[in-house]
Structures are given as structure tokens and as C-alpha cells.
């Protein structure tokens, strides 16, 4: 103490808005990008998505999942997503270049991350830079760049213990995203596509403030302040 916060940034030469999508325009496409862990709130996302839509609704949820540890996330997904669930597509352990990630962000209608806590939330900022509206938890690092003027902050029900006995989150608390509010936000994006596109344009403008140059300058300023 005191704590000095160093923000991350986004490469605005790669993560930029693109042309309107010409494929699957009859569907609302949601995207979530995360490493498989309870902290990322995938359980909240899938539960809310199932509650928000019916199997025949013109929607699809794309999950880009990275998982290099023990266990089988696909089995856990299948336990929630039966034949009564709306469509879900999974990109599992697919390493994409930054340019391909930008294409992925631009190909969807909304990015969703009901995380229980983020140090920063890089995928959300990258999606914003691409002009994609974002639904993300209104807590932790995400609040630095996401608010109601440029996206859909997801309220929380409060803080809860992580339940972990070891590791970096042992004995700590994190947020519990409001799953009912997420249901409403998912439906809102689906029903108000023009509003979502307008917020996406605002998101791209907001992302202009968070460059790697700004991050580097913050580091240099701090080093000068401590006499390095």
C-alpha cells in the first residue's frame, strides 16, 4: 500500500470495427470467450441462456473455451444443455491469432461474460474495440471501461466466498452475477438489435481510450515517480 493500478490495453490496429455481418443475419449470435473455471461464470451464462430462449428461437451461443487441465468441460456442458436447450456452438482449445479473434468478435451480435471477477477482462475490451456490444459483470476490473453508455453492465447479487481452500482465491470473496438480470439482458439484445448496434459503436469509441501506449506510459510515469 498504496496500490497503483496499471491498466492493460488493446491493439487498435487489429481489433477494429468491420462491415456488417452478411451471414446468419436471421439469428442473434452471442459469444463468450474464457478459460474453463467457475470464476468465469459459465454456469450462470448457460442457465440464463436456457431460461431466456426456446430451442427454436433464432439465436445461437458460441463458446470459445480454453481448458488445459484435468476434467472434461464438454460433459459438464452436456449435463446442462439437453435437447430442450437453444443452440450452442463450442470452439474447444482452438488457438486463434489476434486477427482471427478480431474476425470472431466482429461476426457476432453481442459478447457475454458473467464473470465472478476479473483482473481486467481483456476479451471484453477486445470485443468492444471491434464494435461489439458487451454484457459483463458490473464488478472488478471490467468497471474500468464498461458502463451503461457503451454496453450492458450486469448487476451482482452480492459477494460470496470463493469456497477454495488453496490457490490465489483461497479465503477470498467474489461476485455472484444476477442470473435473472442476465436473462433480461440477453432477451433485450435479441429484441433490440438496433440499440445493441448503437451501443457497439459507442463501445468502439470507448476502447480508443485503452491503448497499449497508455498502459506503457502509466508504467513509465510510475517508475519515474519512484526514482527508477
- Specify the pLDDT at position 80: 86
pTM for this one?
Answer: 0.95
What's the DSSP call for residue 111?
A: E
Are 44 and 175 in contact by the 8 Å Cβ rule? The answer is: no
Q: How many CB atoms lie within 10 A of CB 35?
A: 12
Lowest mean pLDDT among 29-33, 59-63, 81-85, 177-181: 81-85
**Domains detected in the chain:** 28-225 (3.40.50.2000)
What band does 188 get if pLDDT is binned at 50, 70 and 90? very high
Are 224 and 18 in contact by the 8 Å Cβ rule? The answer is: no
Q: Residue 47: helix, strand or coil by DSSP?
A: helix
Q: Is the pLDDT of residue 56 over 90?
A: yes
What band does 24 get if pLDDT is binned at 50, 70 and 90? confident
Sort 69 into a burial class: Cβ within 10 Å, 0-12 / 13-18 / 19+.
exposed
Q: Measured between alpha carbons, how far apart are the two ends of the chain, in Å?
A: 18
- Specify the pLDDT at position 68: 87
Give the Cα separation of 57 and 195 in Å (integer): 20
Label residues 187-196 b or e (16+ Cβ within 10 Å = b). Answer: bebbeeeeeb
Amino acid at each position: 500500500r498504496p496500490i497503483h493500478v496499471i491498466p492493460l490495453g488493446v491493439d487498435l490496429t487489429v481489433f477494429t470495427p468491420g462491415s456488417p455481418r452478411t451471414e446468419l443475419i436471421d439469428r442473434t449470435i452471442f459469444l463468450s470467450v474464457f478459460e474453463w473455471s467457475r470464476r468465469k461464470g459459465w454456469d450462470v451464462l448457460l442457465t440464463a441462456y436456457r431460461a431466456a430462449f426456446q430451442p427454436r428461437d433464432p439465436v445461437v451461443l458460441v463458446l470459445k473455451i480454453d481448458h488445459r487441465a484435468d476434467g472434461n468441460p464438454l460433459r459438464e456442458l452436456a449435463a446442462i444443455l439437453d435437447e430442450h436447450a437453444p443452440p450452442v456452438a463450442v470452439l474447444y482449445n482452438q488457438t486463434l491469432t489476434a486477427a482471427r479473434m478480431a474476425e470472431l468478435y466482429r461476426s457476432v451480435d453481442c459478447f457475454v461474460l458473467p464473470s465472478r471477477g476479473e483482473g481486467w477482462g481483456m476479451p471484453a475490451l477486445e470485443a468492444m474495440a471491434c464494435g461489439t456490444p458487451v454484457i459483463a459483470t458490473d464488478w472488478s476490473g471490467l468497471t474500468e471501461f464498461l458502463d451503461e453508455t457503451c454496453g450492458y453492465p450486469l448487476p451482482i447479487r452480492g459477494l460470496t466466498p470463493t469456497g477454495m481452500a488453496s490457490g490465489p482465491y483461497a479465503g477470498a470473496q467474489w461476485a455472484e452475477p444476477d442470473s435473472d438480470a442476465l436473462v433480461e439482458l440477453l432477451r433485450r439484445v435479441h429484441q433490440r438489435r438496433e440499440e445493441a448496434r448503437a451501443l457497439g459503436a459507442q463501445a468502439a469509441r470507448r476502447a480508443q481510450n485503452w491503448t497499449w501506449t497508455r498502459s506503457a506510459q502509466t508504467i513509465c510515469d510510475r517508475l519515474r515517480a519512484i526514482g527508477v
